Amino acid sequence: MAIMGFGELIGMLKKNPKKIVFTEGTDGRILEAASRLLASNFLSPILVGDEEAIFAASEECGYNIRGAEILDPKKFDRMDEMAEMFCELRKGKGVTIDKAKETLLQGNYFGTMLVKMGMADALLGGATYSTADTVRPALQLIKTKPGNSIVSSVFILVRSRATGDSEVLAMADCAINIRPTEDELVEIAIEASECAKIFGVDPKVGFLSYSTFGSGAGEDVDRMRNAAEKTRLKAPDLAVEGELQFDAAVSPRVARTKCPESEIAGHINTFIFPDISAGNIGYKIAQRLGGFEAYGPILLGLNAPVNDLSRGCNAAEVYSMAIITAALA
């Protein structure tokens, strides 16, 4: 895998090995990734599900998962404690102990509580669960970290250059917040930039729009321009520009014509989209037509690392995302 900094992420885990919970223990892609992790010494998988069904699935796919920790919600010996903690975390939401136990039979809620109880450092789900069903338990139980008002997400996009090194970009928020406000965009930009740095990006942040420096007008143009301005005030050391069209963001030639006064237009590597439609379509264009590998969505602003897989993922992506997720722990 060509991702810049990936070797360093493994290096970090080797120094400080972690445990990651997979909420879909019988999925063939999860089992393949888990067998690779078991052969390494830096990240231990915990598989959620029925032990017999997991071993039957692993035999059928031909992956050796001997040594994996398997936790079945139906036989979990700390279920009473887990259900009590669940009720405490959902206080005021009308959750009874019986309702908590019923909810915790679902792998996504059970796995999230394993992280909350400190039995795992991180969680990766979404091979079969939808994004909403993977993310919702984390929003409700792991919650937003102090100082943040929202959970958002970033995709890291990686493409090899002819020179042999990699081009690495960050795009946010392509997966969680439907239409962020100005202040939410500021938070998304700062969190995405911090995450981009972990992958070796020196962030140059562009707030994207259909307008460059007032060439177009409208509420969404103002929202992106104001968000850029507010980000500059909140993070004065961060290189920020906006509002920008995508061509002015990435092409030095177009930037010289449309916004010659900008020092970073034409060289943007951290893209902030106005809403989830633009972001989700945008990263997929880069991935499908631009030849970038896409890693994410990496969730930002949570108290513990939980990440979501695409349901169309393969085992190599599960393995990479597991390492990325655990390294962020």
Ligand X SMILES: CC(C)(COP(=O)(O)OP(=O)(O)OC[C@H]1O[C@@H](n2cnc3c(N)ncnc32)[C@H](O)[C@@H]1OP(=O)(O)O)[C@@H](O)C(=O)NCCC(=O)NCCS
* Closer CB to ligand X, 93 or 161, in the complex: 93
Residues 281, 287, 292, 293, CA torsion sign = positive
Choose the stretch contacting ligand X; rule: CB under 6 A; options: 139-147, 158-166, 228-236, 321-329.
139-147
Distance CA 86, CA 95 (A): 9
| CB 281 to ligand X: min, Å | 11
- Contact yes or no for 92/101 (Cβ under 8 A): no
Which structure tokens are listed for 29?
Answer: 């892609």
Strands (DSSP E) found in 28-88: 43-48, 69-71
Which of 39, 67, 40 shows the shortest CA–CA distance to 54?
67
DSSP 114-149: HHHTTS-SEEEE-SSS-HHHHHHHIIIII-BPTT-S
Distance CA 190, CA 288 (A): 27
136 in contact with ligand X (CB under 6 A): yes
| CB 188 to ligand X: min, Å | 10
* Closer CB to ligand X, 82 or 294, in the complex: 294
Burial level of 100, CB count in 10 A (0-12/13-18/19+)? Answer: buried
| CB 134 to ligand X: min, Å | 9
175 in contact with ligand X (CB under 6 A): yes
Distance CA 151, CA 192 (A): 11
Of positions 4, 38, 61, 139, contacts ligand X by CB under 6 A: 139
* Closer CB to ligand X, 97 or 281, in the complex: 281
Choose the stretch contacting ligand X; rule: CB under 6 A; options: 7-15, 170-178, 199-207, 248-256.
170-178
* Closer CB to ligand X, 64 or 130, in the complex: 130
151 in contact with ligand X (CB under 6 A): yes
Of positions 132, 216, 256, 277, contacts ligand X by CB under 6 A: 132
Choose the stretch contacting ligand X; rule: CB under 6 A; options: 10-18, 40-48, 144-152, 157-165.
144-152
150 in contact with ligand X (CB under 6 A): yes
- Contact yes or no for 303/139 (Cβ under 8 A): no
128 in contact with ligand X (CB under 6 A): no
Of positions 13, 71, 127, 135, contacts ligand X by CB under 6 A: 135
- Contacting ligand X within 269-328 (CB under 6 A): 280, 297
* Residues in Cβ contact with 1 at an 8 Å cutoff, skipping those fewer than 6 apart: 293, 316, 320
Of positions 131, 181, 215, 251, contacts ligand X by CB under 6 A: 131
| CB 63 to ligand X: min, Å | 27
Residues forming beta bridges with residue 153, ordered by sequence position: 299
Q: Which residues bind ligand X (CB under 6 A)?
A: 131-132, 135-136, 139-140, 144, 150-151, 175-178, 280, 297
